Amino acid sequence: MAISVDNHVVADAAGRAAGDPVHLEDLLRRAVRRAAECPVLDITVAGGVVMLSGMALRREDKSRAGFACWCDPTVRAVYNNLTISSGPA
């Protein structure tokens, strides 16, 4: 958890600053995993823009994954490029 003291960002327990893209990617990955079934998931964050790629099991999972990315107020845009699984191989 990050705390702001006099407009200075204090690092979280892992030593990363709250605005760190790696921290945000981890947060979003956990949020998507809770909301949707995506066996293959890649999340990239740059300047508040989130790119999702990989595979969702159902159309609903793709939609839920995209919505889950809005859990952080620093997210400005979400590009959901997840594909829907065609079923068992």
Mean pLDDT on 2-26: 54
Task: Provide the b/e sequence for 34-51 (b: ≥16 CB within 10 Å).
Answer: ebbbbeebebebeeeebe
**28-79: pLDDT as tens digits:** 999 999 999 999 999 999 999 999 999 999 999 999 999 999 999 999 999 9
Under the banding of pLDDT at 50, 70 and 90, the label for residue 13 is very low
Q: What is the pLDDT of residue 15?
A: 47
Predicted TM-score (pTM) of this structure? 0.73
